Structure 1
Amino acid sequence: MIPTPDLDHISSRDYEHVYEPAEDTFLLLDALEKDAEFLRNEIKPCICLEIGSGTGCVSTFLGKILGDGTALLICTDINPYANAITNKTGCHNSIQLEPITTNLVNGLLPRLYHSIDILCFNPPYVVTTSDDLYSSKNIIEKAWAGGIDGREIIDKALPLVNELLSDKGVFYLLLISENKPNEVREIMKNNYNLQSEILFSRLAGREKQLILKFWRNTR
């Protein structure tokens, strides 16, 4: 078992500014751990990217899975405070991360076109109104508010996945049942020829969380 990254360096005051790891975070960790041998031995990644890294827990865990330190681990977040914490989390756990403050992947394309071997996204997925999504000035709310069907940020990211993934690349996406995951799978298949499976699902209180795994139909 791969240990969860040590987050003792993050204070309660820090969590006023950055999303605290919760059940959704740990479900994504479990999915990556389940695929650990596949990622190490078949994907053998050169470049990994996490969109919306928050504390950096997921990318740090991925770095521990890969182990040899040869993969570039890029993390993006719109919240500069989150990127500072992400950097500290990597250092605290002896994993080198490369945090970038940007919205989704603005500025990374076309340079990273079809270059990402492992892509992870735990998006803002909670069902809210569009007004809640765009009018909120609270940075923590922006980490979870997803707009109509919880899909407004997710739907902006889906076309970017096709541009980012390498031929051997895999994409791990966390959704809840209200996000209509089967519809997301159909969009990715019909529009981008990306195959998928539900890698994990779990109840967190009344919320059903799922990890979808996507890959190109070239293997």
Structure 2
Amino acid sequence: MIPTPDLSHLTYKDYDHVYEPAEDTFILLDALEQDADELKELKPTICLEIGSGSGCVSTFITQILDTRTVYLCTDINPYAAQCTFRTGKQNNKILDPIRAYLALPLMNRLKYQVDVLLFNPPYVPTITDELEAAQAGKSIEGAWAGGTDGMELTNKFLQCVEHLLSPKGRFYLVALKANRIDSIRQRMKDGYGLESKISLERRAGREYLYILCFYRPT
């Protein structure tokens, strides 16, 4: 079993500003561990996490992949970028956090270069104004405010995935049952030619969570 990263350096004050790992985080960790052998076989050179928050997920993936992999992490929240760096350091791993909206400043440089792409998006349904205010404020609200149907930010990033993903790449997405899983998978196939699988699914309280994995057809 791959250990959960040590987060003992983070305090309740940190979690006032940064999303604390919860069930959605842990199901993503479990899915990555389940696919560990497959991910190792890819021999990834670049891993990119969108919305790294505490840095828990990116630190976890370093325990699966090769030390020669570059671990990039974006987050619009400056506190999250700091926490991500600190979590890497706490676990003797090197993470490269970047303050950015989704992957916007990396799109050209990383075109078809990302071997492992990770996104646990804000998926709580809110009004669009609340989503926009959370993103503009670069605060913890940006970790959960998902706009209409909880999918507004996710839909924006889904348009970027095919551009970023390497020929052998894998994209892992956390989604709710209410997000219409079949629709997401069909859209990615019809619009971008990406195949997909459900890596893991689990009930977490009132929510039913899925980890979707997208990849180019062989």
Q: What TM-score do the two structures reach when normalised by structure 2? A: 0.97
Counterpart in the other structure of 1:47 = 46
Give the Cα separation in 1 of the matches to 2:133 and 2:200.
33
1:82 to 80, 83, 106: 80
Counterpart in the other structure of 2:61 = 62
- Cα RMSD, aligned residues only: 1.0
Paired residues of 2:77 and 2:140 also in contact (CA < 8 A): no
Instruction: Tell me which amino acid in the other structure corresponds to 1:154.
Output: T
Counterpart in the other structure of 1:14 = 14
In structure 1, runs of 5+ residues without a counterpart are none
In structure 2, runs of 5+ residues without a counterpart are none
Give the Cα separation in 2 of the matches to 1:135 and 1:64.
35
Counterpart in the other structure of 1:214 = 214
Identity score, percent: 54
Q: Secondary structure at the match of 1:159?
A: helix
Instruction: Tell me which amino acid in the other structure corresponds to 1:116.
Output: V
Counterpart in the other structure of 1:34 = 34
Give the Cα separation in 1 of the matches to 2:146 and 2:16.
19
Deviations 1:68-108 (A, max 9, x none): 41000000000011000000000100111010000001110
Counterpart in the other structure of 1:144 = 144
2:71 to 45, 70, 73: 73
Give the Cα separation in 1 of the matches to 2:133 and 2:57.
28
Counterpart in the other structure of 1:122 = 120
Deviations 1:54-76 (A, max 9, x none): 0010000000111x410000000
Paired residues of 1:52 and 1:76 also in contact (CA < 8 A): yes
Q: Secondary structure at the match of 1:19?
A: coil
1:141 deviates by 1.5
Counterpart in the other structure of 1:24 = 24
Q: Secondary structure at the match of 2:106?
A: coil
Deviations 1:26-51 (A, max 9, x none): 0000000000011112x110000000
1:172 deviates by 0.2
Counterpart in the other structure of 1:97 = 95
Counterpart in the other structure of 2:130 = 132
1:138 deviates by 7.5
